[in-house]
Structure 1
């Protein structure tokens, strides 16, 4: 009897469901068709986008703090328009994104910007305004040489880095390291990028490291989240009679509060940080993933925020490990080459986090002083050759002047 009643219930339920299908079925089909339409038009829009890869070449040293890079990022933040209703839902227009990249090929370090071709002139003008002595050259995408080449003898590793805490907590920035004050003594300044650049400069022929920071102007409410964190720390939601005691923060809490307020006062970008290491199989260094992660800890502050690694291709556990590692390697390699992080139509997308302009300028700026990095091509080779040429002419001129003077006086030194 009980079994019969249960069966009757389910039969009755499905009968009602079928009888009312004229109400819910069109809604579900409409939703699926809408998603399919968005997928199609966005894929079409992305396929028609043209990109420019700019290589940045600079002389031995430029007396500029990372604040100059922060000014450039402020301009990039203005490129946040994704169009009106027709643009977004008929043409598939998407908010533009950019990639800040550093790559080392056998110890030779190169800085790149990967940007939509439509804003190339704007970006170039802003970079020249901040760094008048650098050279910009549009080059081929360096990932294509690997993507189109023979990968049988290559071993690939990649990982991504996300924030340990909420976005409102800042990482350790160039201001914390004293790089905002050019007049400070060298001993008082430390560049956190040096660890990664030293590692890149130490690579052997046949090894490569690719460092990628994908950014897009954020539309999240991270500033509101920061304000809520500050309010929570101040305990303003407590009873009025306890309000005075709640403002008596410890020195450590005061530092955290001020850091959060400074962090959310600046412009923010949706961000994805990705690092790849590839080498010939007989040269592949299994310790390299740990060393890269060690270099990324330079930005960590124990009482604020820092980076932690996720999606590492070399750390798949349990069942079908080899096949799952291979699948993750293919996915991460495609994601790096496509500069994918923000949109579904490309092969890979993920939940991103927010870094402000100060934080981004900390993890990507140029140039590092030549003496701090062993890599050959952090410095533009043309500049180096010109310096040597000028020096040669100078010493030759001095030699002939001295020789001429000695000859006129009847002496030879």
Structure 2
């Protein structure tokens, strides 16, 4: 009997969930639907229970000494953390460094992977006082692509105190590049809703968890340093999309990241012990795949036994790729993009190129994908945004978040995914000469020391 009631409960639950998802698929707020459903149920109950309203009011007032202080504490804590972190951030000096590219870069993205490893810094929020009283955080960085009228630039945004760290890591692997401090293009740009149209989006892992990576330069065999004419760099599509911007169009890409250091989960079988979430999620996924690859068999006594693992090709690739990345330092990463254009030249294909700009790195079959999410992607139906009020509000929030490089800290905290230096280096590295996008400018001369035998 109890089992029947349990099945009935789950049946109602999944039916309700299905209705909620169906309503959400039509662009109607799920929260609004559930609120109206709750109010409707209360209205029906009030017909059969005349004193229901007074009873609920009295119950809320009577129990207020219990739930009200808890709500106020949580609200005050959120306000305090936002205030103290924003105050601490306001005192930081930041710098935007533009990467000037030489004509020839012979190194594979593995050099960038080694450089990014040096960005894994966890200092700044080790103690409780640092995190919750002074508001300090561990340093975060931003890799950025920006195209202005088809002219492509690469930037690194960094705290001033970590500028030498960034410069030393990049110069160590790419001695021919040049890093120049430049004015922050995002801060000086003035968006005018009367003359401009803007489309904003995030890019996030889907449909699998971040235990599954995307394609990396190793999958394209760039780690084997093939000859220039045989190199296939998926970043070429990104540069071509940026170079395709016309006069009056701009496209910006921002990759904000910091060391994955405080993402924990409760250890299985223990209440007060914690472990790194991503690391153990990867181990769990590998174990699930390994178990799924073992074909069960029946012994002589009729008992089912688990067979020896015999993974398929895709299962083997999944396990090898995840375990390879498991041996590297993890970063929390947030990715956003912005397309801005004059109303006269706004282009639907250019907008779509932003949404699908990371497609060359996707592996929908058995790994992961970077797909567009949030931002303007939620507006599919006209009733979702009356007179484009929400569109303008989202635009303003995205511009403010972009200027602040706020993705991992308040006031704009977004959903992130875990990436290793291998993955980050794949989606951001100085391109070799095989990438000849028309908007990508390079330094005409190569830096070199003077010969030692010059006459004095």
Match of 2:227 among 185, 192, 212: 185
Residues 190/34 of structure 1: CA separation in 2 closer, same or farther (3 Å cut): same
Pairing partner for 2:330 from 233, 247, 268: 268
CA distance in 2, matches of 1:21, 1:274: 42
2:408 partner SS = coil
Distance (Å, rounded) in 2 between the aligned partners of 1:68 and 1:332: 32
Q: For residue 64 of structure 1, what is the aligned residue in structure 2?
A: 107
Task: Decide which of 101, 104, 111 is 2:154's aligned counterpart.
Answer: 111
Give 3-state SS (helix, strand or coil) of 1:358's partner: helix
1:86 aligns with 2:148: no
C-alpha contact 2:142 2:254 (8 A) present in aligned 1: yes
Other structure's SS at 2:158 match: strand
- Cα deviation for residue 59 of structure 1 reads 0.9
1:77 to 120, 140, 146: 120
User: What SS class does the counterpart of residue 211 from structure 1 fall into?
Assistant: strand
Number of the residue aligned with 2:196: 154
**Given the alignment of the two structures, is residue 380 of structure 1 paired with residue 443 of structure 2, yes or no?**
yes
The reply to whether residue 281 of structure 1 matches residue 328 of structure 2 is no
Q: Once the 2 structures are TM-superposed, how far is the Cα of residue 313 of structure 1 from its aligned partner?
A: 2.2
- C-alpha contact (below 8 Å) 2:339/2:354 kept by paired residues: no
Any unmatched runs of 5+ in structure 2?
1-44, 264-276, 449-456
| 1:163 equivalent in structure 2 | 205
Q: Is the contact made by 2:234 and 2:361 (CA closer than 8 Å) also made in structure 1? A: yes
Partners of 2:132 and 2:376 in 1: CA distance: 36
Given candidates 165, 170, 173, the residue that maps to 1:130 is 173
* 1:175 aligned partner: 218
* Corresponding residue number in structure 2 for 1:329: 395
Check 1:125–1:235 CA distance in 2 against 1; reply closer, same or farther (3 A cut).
same
Inter-partner Cα distance in structure 1 for 2:174 and 2:324: 26
Moved more, 267-276 or 291-300: 291-300
Q: State the 1:16 CA deviation.
A: 7.0
- Partners of 2:72 and 2:375 in 1: how far apart? 38
- Name the counterpart of 2:86: 43
Going from structure 1 to structure 2, the CA distance change for 1:74 and 1:6 (only over 3 Å counts) comes to: same
**1 CA distance for matches of 2:440 and 2:296?**
63
**Deviations 1:65-111, CA, capped at 9 Å, x for gaps:** 11111112111112454131111111111232111001111222111
The answer to whether 1:205 aligns with 2:261 is no
Residue 300 (1) aligns with residue 300 (2): no
Contact 2:197 2:346 in 1 (8 A): yes
Question: What secondary structure is seen at the aligned counterpart in 1 of 2:371?
Answer: strand
Among residues 290, 314, 328, which one is paired with 1:234 in the alignment?
Answer: 290
Cα distance in 1 for residues equivalent to 2:152 and 2:51: 72
Name which of 310, 316, 320 aligns with 2:373.
310
Alpha-carbon separation, structure 2, partners of 1:266 and 1:74? 9
Deviation string, structure 1 residues 127-166 (Cα, Å, up to 9, x no partner): 111111111111110112313x656422212211111111
Under a length normalisation based on structure 2, what TM-score does the superposition of the two structures give? 0.75
TM-score in terms of structure 1 length: 0.83
Q: Deviations over 1:296-345 (max 9, x none)?
A: 1100112211111112426612311622222222222222222121223x
Match of 2:31 in 1: none
- Decide whether aligned partners of structure 1 residues 359 and 321 sit closer, same or farther in structure 2, where only a CA change above 3 A counts: farther
**What SS is found at the alignment partner of 2:430?**
coil
Listed one character per residue, the Cα deviations across residues 355-402 of structure 1 (whole Å, up to 9, x for unaligned) are: 11111100000033165221142x135x38x99xxxxxxxxxxxxxxx
Q: 1:207 to 1:245 in 2, by over 3 A?
A: same
**How far is 1:286 from its partner?**
1.4
Q: Which has the larger radius of gyration?
A: 1
Q: CA deviation at 1:125?
A: 1.2
Gaps of 5+ in 1: 388-413
* Equivalent-residue separation in structure 1 for 2:176 and 2:51 (angstroms): 82
Q: How many Å apart are 1:169 and its aligned residue?
A: 0.8
Contact kept? 1:105, 1:203, Cα under 8 Å: yes
The count of aligned residue pairs is: 379
- Rounded to whole Å, the distance in 2 between the matches of 1:113 and 1:53 is 6
